[in-house]
């Protein structure tokens, strides 16, 4: 999709949370847009926030855990609606405090490399899933 000057870009940070050579994925609940699709947890970067600051806040709100960000990964861009472009900014992270409790999402799964493509991912997350698949050994050893 070509992005003209009228295209609004919405920065969204997301966490690729690693634990025991698995990554965390969450399923969007019926009350959320894109209900039933899987995604990496995160949310919109608010005015005055950096993407990492946004992510730490969003993960605390959505999963009730504290994360430590390790590394920024390649971004993904996708337009779900005319005139709006989602720029998904993924970060490799680990849980530094707390246990996962879902606030908005309906399900959580910890996925190994062979399970990545078994879920129905939201379109913006698909390029990140492909990147994880292609770079799995390097990323889980990080």
| The pLDDT value given to residue 3 | 45
| The pLDDT value given to residue 1 | 46
| The pLDDT value given to residue 5 | 54
Measured distance CA(83)–CA(106) in Å, rounded: 29
pLDDT 10s digits, 51-107: 999 999 999 999 999 999 999 999 999 998 888 899 999 999 999 999 999 999 999
Are the C-beta atoms of 11 and 58 separated by less than 8 Å? no
As a whole number, the mean pLDDT across the chain is: 93
């Amino acid at each position: 999709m070509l992005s003209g000057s009228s295209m609004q870009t919405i920065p969204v940070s997301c966490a690729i949370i690693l634990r025991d050579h698995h990554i965390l994925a969450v399923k969007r609940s019926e009350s959320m847009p894109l209900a039933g699709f899987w995604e990496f947890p995160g949310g919109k970067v608010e005015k005055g926030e950096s993407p990492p600051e946004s992510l730490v806040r969003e993960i605390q709100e959505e999963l009730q855990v504290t994360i430590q960000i390790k590394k920024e990964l390649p971004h993904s861009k996708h337009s779900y609606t005319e005139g709006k472009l989602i720029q998904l900014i993924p970060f490799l992270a680990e849980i530094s405090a707390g246990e996962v409790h879902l606030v908005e999402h309906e399900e959580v799964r910890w996925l190994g490399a062979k399970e990545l493509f078994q879920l129905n991912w939201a379109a913006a997350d698909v390029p990140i899933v492909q990147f994880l698949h292609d770079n799995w050994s390097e990323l889980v050893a990080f």
